[in-house]
Chains A and B, each alone.
Chain A
Amino acid sequence: MTASAAAREPAPVAIRAPRRWGWRAGLGLGLAAVGLVLLSPLVGSVAIPPQTVAQIVLHQLSGGALAQQPCAGSSASPTLCSAYVEIVWNERLPVLLLALLAGSALGISGAALQGVFRNPLADPYLLGLSSGGALGAAFLYVFQVGETEASIALPILAFGGSLATGIAILVASRGKAGSVETLLLTGVALASFLSASLSIVLLYNPIGSLQVSFWLLGGVGGATWNRDGIAFGGILIASTLLVLHGRELNVMQLGNDVAQSIGVPASAVRQRLILLASFATAMAVAFTGVIGFVGLVAPHIVRRTVSSDYRVVLPLSAVAGGMFLLAANDLAVSVVPNTQLPVGIFTSFAGAPFFLTLLYRHRRSTMTGET
């Protein structure tokens, strides 16, 4: 602003958001995230030298132009080297990417749902969107289709399941008892009903109990580049659309009536956001099964550390969710040697205490007016 403008204008009010942890903490978290992504390809039952991993990635990304000898500098034999390439490029990287994608989808869905329901306890898992998606996907195993058909049918069926759950929640919201609390409780009831249904479908399918535990506890182990591609497309679309609703969600925190008086068509936005969150959740669930608590934890980390402005919370929840799931998966792979545990175990181990803390904090803060 020029000096003359400053003289004419009334005392300028600089407008900024309230401070949280500050840029140092933000930078720290950012570096941790980058480090996590960089180190994750090293994690696994086979120990591969970091330099080799880096060279393999470089080699593959550049189409062989760079790092023409991926295993140069190590003592790996050509056979071992090709095994390394297979492991890093066709297993670890797709898994890493799927963890990031599914985590971000769950994180952003959680943020959107928490905003829509104006309740910090909302989450695609607790509301039954995940179970609904998983139930939809599980029908695939009942019908036994081929691998190619499955990669297309799976997300569609999962989407159908999540969507049906989302619609059921929305229908509940249209009735007389459409309070936020009723909606949440409806979701919670639906979630347990759907989990039970999912268990039945999976128990009586020909694939057996291994698949059952995969779907119920979740995991990113089934990742392939193809699946990642489909997930990436769907999640990118849903997330982009969700991120565009930051301002609406901010205003909707004031209540639907006030939001409407400010010009936000609150019920339309609510419907749209629930559908988008269902879609994003479905994309994750279709490939990972039911992974709990990511959507709960991620938005909270963002709110606590950066801002409660939904224009920030939505995209950063995607990032935080991705990181959370990736970290949980790294643990799932490395805690017990030579065994891959379902990642859902770890997110639940971290998430359930988190949930309880929040619940009690939330109850206290309704008295003091803090979030």
Chain B
Amino acid sequence: MTDAPSSPATSEILPVRLRGVSVRYDHRVALHEVDLTVSPGEFVVLAGPNGSGKTTLLRVILGFLPVAEGVAELFGSRLDDLAVRERARLVAWVPQDEAVRDDPSVAEYVRYGRYPYRGRFETESAEDLRQVRGALEELDLADRAHDGLLSLSGGERQRAVLARALAQATPLLLLDEPTSHLDIGHQLDILERVRLLSRRRGTAVLAALHDLNLAARFADRVVILSRGRKYDDGPPRDVLSEELLARVWGVSADLRRDPRSGVPYLLPHHRLVEPAAVRSAPGFGPVHVVGGGGAAAPILRWLVDRGYRATTGALHLLDTDAETAQLLGLPMAVELPFAPLGEEVRAAHRVLLGHAQAIVVAPFAIGPSNLANLTDLEPYAGQVPVYLFNPTPIESRDFASGEGRRGWEKLRSGGAQELGSWAALEAALHGLEAGRRLPSRPSPPAATPT
């Protein structure tokens, strides 16, 4: 009895069908030749950066914006042919944040959703009451039915908005960033409820969402908009990719899969790079970082942020530094966990060292298993700049009974330069780039990057 709105006849017809739809605001093109379909019972997420046309697209379907070109159909009818009231029986809307000014009760508010079903002189029908009650119960608001709308919490209020849209009993539901003001718990709650509804009632859902991970989790299909055009359209696992994020959002990220559900999720690791700091000059080779136990990770991130190419080694698998390097996609030499650095790995490490434009020795803890990292460096100390980065003194992290300290001293006497701060490191690399080797100059204490 709940699937009354999607009778067999209407389920053959697509809830939304846009063909070559273009929309202009004055002369600016907001949407350009967008094709889009939404099938009954389907949960489609619209994603795209700010200004990509998500909201515009929703507003077209709601009939708020005229279509400049193309055909927009709602359940087989041209949008322009539908009266406001007819349309309200087909599509309900949950906006980003709804202005609630006067203070109706929750039940009163949900009843507003029955507007398109009642004539001016008709009283409330049994069906109206049933739908209102059903919507309140479905969203667990029955016990708050008599409370003022403004007394609800943010999560409850958004549930009330959803209940109002539900009471409209439409076979299509549009949501515009329905969760953007909510905490993560309520975000999941709202979207979970929407998905359940769409399954149970066969309601087609089209939602604009900023959060791609939520999109991947809930959507049957993701439609990516970019600058008013459709960029991609398909199931989340096919659409979401590192490349997509880089191209459409200009964000670098890693794509992972939730091991339980197989749902893709994205881990963005992009931070703004100052244009002046991007080291794209040809001929400037990678900066190699020798580390271990997490000492190299901040330096690697720091280098990548500033646009340097970086390599690292020799590390142990599962070590924090190794994981960071893997996430950043950096070449490295890796040994099995806890094993002393083997001959093969050291050879690989030497290849990386040989390509380096500069070598940074991270303040890593030196033990018998990775002592070779220091000794292998000795031949390079005279050839390329080697920076011994030691914000913490070597004595405190020598666990190789003095061998570490001896190796460190050897490097220093061989021409390696000790740097005590990030600022000094930055200055040194800058100088290197400019083709001259700067003596470590006194520099103001700089904030260490996180």
Contact = CB atoms under 8 A, between A and B. Distances in A.
Given A10-B133, A261-B93, A250 B112 contact: yes
B111 A15 contact: yes
Contacts of A353: none
Contacts of A164: none
B120 A244 contact: yes
B104 A258 contact: no
Given A16-B146, A263-B85, A263-B88, A258 B98 contact: yes
A251 B108 CA distance: 10
B62 to A, nearest CB: 6
Nearest to B83: A265
B133 A13 contact: yes
B235 to A, nearest CB: 29
B84 interface: yes
A260 B87 CA distance: 9
B89 interface: yes
Contact of B64 (A118, A247, A251, A260): A260
How many interface residues does chain A have, given as a range? 20 to 34
A17 B91 contact: no
A369 interface: yes
A262 B116 contact: yes
A265 B84 contact: yes
A255 B103 contact: no
A17 B104 contact: yes
Interface in B68-124: 84-85, 87-89, 91-93, 95, 98-105, 107-108, 111-113, 115-116, 118, 120
Contact of B84 (A12, A13, A264): A264
B423 interface: no
A263 B103 contact: no
B142 interface: yes
Given A10-B133, A16-B146, A260-B64, A254 B98 contact: yes
A28 interface: no
A371 B142 contact: no
A11 interface: yes
A257 B95 contact: yes
A19 to B, nearest CB: 9
A253 interface: yes
B168 interface: yes
Interface string A219-248: 000000000000000000000000010010
B88 A262 contact: yes
A13 B136 contact: yes
B244 to A, nearest CB: 31
B430 to A, nearest CB: 49
Contacts of A17: 104-105, 108
A346 B308 CA distance: 78
Contacts, number: 106
Given A18-B146, A255-B99, A263 B84 contact: yes
Given A17-B104, A253-B101, A260 B142 contact: no
B294 interface: no
- Best-buried of B63, B88, B145 by chain A (most CB within 10 Å): B88
- Best-buried of A12, A13, A253, A370 by chain B (most CB within 10 Å): A13
A211 B87 CA distance: 54
Nearest to B89: A263
A16 B148 CA distance: 11
A370 B103 CA distance: 8
Contacts of B84: 260, 263-265
A261 B62 contact: yes
A316 to B, nearest CB: 15
B211 interface: no
A262 B112 contact: yes
B47 interface: no
A257 B99 CA distance: 11
Contact of B137 (A10, A15, A369): A10
Contacts of A91: none
A11 B142 contact: yes
Contacts of A258: 93, 95, 98-99
B108 A309 contact: yes
Nearest to A119: B101
B103 A308 contact: yes
B146 A370 contact: no
Nearest to B108: A17
A37 B111 CA distance: 37
B137 A257 contact: no
B388 interface: no
Contacts of B95: 255, 257-258
Contacts of A251: 112, 115
A181 to B, nearest CB: 13
B64 to A, nearest CB: 6
Nearest to A244: B120
Given A18-B103, A263-B87, A370-B103, 5 more contacts: A13-B145, A15-B132, A18-B146, A254-B98, A255-B99
19 contacts: A10-B133, A13-B133, A14-B145, A15-B105, A16-B146, A18-B103, A118-B101, A254-B98, A254-B99, A255-B95, A255-B98, A258-B93, A261-B91, A261-B92, A261-B93, A263-B84, A263-B89, A264-B115, A308-B103
Interface of B: 59, 62-64, 84-85, 87-89, 91-93, 95, 98-105, 107-108, 111-113, 115-116, 118, 120, 129, 132-134, 136-137, 142, 145-148, 150, 164, 168
Which 8 pairs between the two chains have the least Cβ-Cβ distance?
A: A263-B88, A263-B116, A261-B93, A308-B102, A263-B85, A15-B107, A265-B84, A255-B99
